Amino acid sequence: MLFLQVIVGGLLLGAIYALFSSGLTLIWGMMNFINFAHGEFVMLGMYAALLVVVWLNGGPAVFGLAAAVALFVLGVIVYAGLIRHVMRGPMLAQILSSFGLALLLRYTAFFIFSANFVSLPQNSLSGTVDIGGILMPLAQLVAGVIAIALTIALHFMLTRTTVGSKLLAVSEDRNAAMLMGIRPDRMQALAWGLSAGAAGIAGALLAISYPWSPSVGETFGLTAFVVVALGGFGSVPGALYAGLIIGLIQAVSAFWLGPIYKDIVVYALFVALLWLRPQGLMGKA
Amino acid sequence: MTKALVFRPKILVLSVCLLIFPLVFSDAFYRDIGVTVILAAISASAWNIVGGYAGQVSVGHSMFYGIGAYAPLLFYQLWGWPPILGIPVGIALSLGLAVAIGTPTFRLTGHYFSMATIAVAELIRIFTGTWDFVGAAIGLQGPATARGWWDLTFRGELPYYYLFLGVLAVLLCITAALERRKFGYYLRAIKTGERAARSLGVPVRQTKIKALMLSAAFTSIAGSLYSIKTGFIDPESGFGILVSVQMVIIAALGGAGTLFGPLLGAVILVPLQTATNTWFGGGGSGLTYIFYGGIIVLIARFEPGGLFELWDRIAPTRWRRSHAA
């Protein structure tokens, strides 16, 4: 029964991984751009949630929404102020830009919030539920379900709506899209907003159940790389499956080998993937 | 057409300046900064071979640095070997790792290489922190007092300065020689357009792997020199992400893909870093890295060619022409 609990817990955490990784994979698929600062977006989402709780005394729905909106805005600003310009430059500039941004955000967070671990105060999602003998914290359950729902919603938005078609059109062929009357810059700004927004809300969902410090951004960023590499670059459904798999692997390896080894196992898996199947499980070669 | 490097006036001036620096500034504080500058220039120049010339941006070069740093102290602690014997072992391991990473990732676009390097470096860092054989989180220590010159443990900064300067000179000479050979043209062709280079018959993958191997070997040497000088290494100072960051930022600041860019970057950044640490207090805490991140973003946004390219653009044409004549 304990092992079953570990599995369910891993899958619920994996659902949140899937949510923020789908943001990373969206940007990669659209612009061929790897955002090294994506984990920092998740971390900022966590602090955004904390600030809303402390200042406005908001409940989970309020701080979740606030984190999503705040990070959406940040994503658009980052695109308009930085990414739009470096995309025209050499690849060195592209990699440096998001890498430098990651450092800037991470250490600014250290400076403002200090290196101490913080957690959200008790709220309406505290407590546990009993599902057929498996005891799960309510917060993890709700967060996991919301994360899966949002990831699926993002997928449907991309594949079933006009905006989604425009986004895909820009990623397919920027110039052709422009001739069809789509503004590529707006669409890419929207993609960055959605990507960062997904990271932000995932951060808020994580913040409900887990304590954190500014350094979590690095871990989540690498986790997102692994998820995207496993699921295939640019694929949101791929990110969903891969996120769940990674969450499961982490939980099981933490359970069997000890908590220190959960990241080692995941990174080792990433390296093995790059060797054996670099296009990901579901990606095209 | 190509005069030997030493006879070019600018380079002669530079060499003399570097040679007499510790004699002019004999204060231990300045000498220490000098040693740090040269060491940073070595690792950034080594990064520059693959990151600058070939345009394959590694953000995990700390893996080679760390291996190079651990090898000498590990053999000293295990069997009391002089640390100097660990240097070739570090190089050999780094070469192996370079091939292991380059072979799969260089088949793909450059982003895969960047992601793979950061993931492997993190993997090694976390693993080293849990592995008792290499001292786990506590790290390793070198000889406290020298048993002979071969321990490379000196009291003052001066011997280190000239030793490091010698290594830097060798590295820059190799880079300069490669720059003008077919290999150097291959690297630049790959950087400018990989597909075009391949269609013209450039052996793209082999060239990239060779560049990574050369880069890894010298990064490993830089790591060995660091740990032998400090006599101490732990996972963070060997494999930490900031070790990689420093190489990238120094090379990019001076000018990635130029011979003296990394040296220029080190000469600017290292004293600046010492100054910010002194002003803001608390060595290595927050503000220094905010500053690092800010510089990297600004370079990427406004001046991806680094200071060398900026100079080329703003320096008056007349001055340059008279100089080139």
Nearest chain B Cα distance for residue A154, angstroms: 25
CB pairs under 8 A between A and B: 140
For residues B168 and B145, what is the distance between their CA atoms, to the nearest angstrom? 26
pLDDT reading at A285 higher than 50: no
* Average of per-residue pLDDT across A162-188: 86
Q: What confidence category does residue A228 fall into, taking pLDDT thresholds of 50, 70 and 90?
A: confident
Q: Which residues in chain B are closer than 8 Å to A107, comparing Cβ atoms?
A: 286-287, 289-290, 292-293
> Worst-scoring range by mean pLDDT, A125-129, A237-241, B118-122, B314-318?
B314-318
Contact A89 B252 (CB under 8 A): no
Phi/psi at B75 (5° precision): -70, -30
Provide the 10 A C-beta neighbour count for residue A74: 23
Q: What confidence category does residue A80 fall into, taking pLDDT thresholds of 50, 70 and 90?
A: very high
For residues A196 and A19, what is the distance between their CA atoms, to the nearest angstrom? 11
pLDDT confidence of residue B115: 81
* Contact present, A229 and B115 (Cβ < 8 Å): yes
Q: pLDDT tens for residues B225-244? A: 999 888 888 888 889 888 89
Phi/psi at B232 (5° precision): -160, 140
Nearest chain A Cα distance for residue B226, angstroms: 24
A179 in reach of chain B (CB within 8 A): no
For residues A264 and A253, what is the distance between their CA atoms, to the nearest angstrom? 9
ipTM of the complex: 0.81
> Worst-scoring range by mean pLDDT, A222-236, A256-270, B139-153?
B139-153
For residues B122 and B110, what is the distance between their CA atoms, to the nearest angstrom? 19
pLDDT reading at B325 higher than 70: no
* Contact present, A261 and A253 (Cβ < 8 Å): yes
For residues B132 and A48, what is the distance between their CA atoms, to the nearest angstrom? 39
* Average of per-residue pLDDT across B166-176: 91
pLDDT reading at B318 higher than 80: no
Contact B245 A103 (CB under 8 A): yes
Q: What confidence category does residue B110 fall into, taking pLDDT thresholds of 50, 70 and 90?
A: low
pLDDT reading at A181 higher than 80: yes
* Average of per-residue pLDDT across A73-101: 88
Alpha-carbon dihedral sign for residues B167, B125, B284, B27: negative
Q: What confidence category does residue B286 fall into, taking pLDDT thresholds of 50, 70 and 90?
A: low
Q: Which residues in chain A are closer than 8 Å to B119, comparing Cβ atoms?
A: 222, 225-226, 267, 270-271, 274
pLDDT reading at A38 higher than 90: yes
pLDDT reading at B271 higher than 90: no
**Which residues have a Cβ under 8 Å from the Cβ of B172 and sit 6 or more positions away?**
B45, B259, B260, B263
For residues B38 and B222, what is the distance between their CA atoms, to the nearest angstrom? 10
Question: Is this model's pTM higher than 0.80 or not?
Answer: yes
Contact A104 B293 (CB under 8 A): yes
Ramachandran assignment for B8, one of left (phi > 0), alpha (psi -120 to 50 degrees), beta (any other): beta
> Worst-scoring range by mean pLDDT, A195-199, A231-235, B165-169?
A231-235
Nearest chain A Cα distance for residue B192, angstroms: 9
Q: What confidence category does residue B1 fall into, taking pLDDT thresholds of 50, 70 and 90?
A: very low
Contact A100 B51 (CB under 8 A): no
pLDDT reading at A135 higher than 70: yes
Contact A102 B293 (CB under 8 A): yes
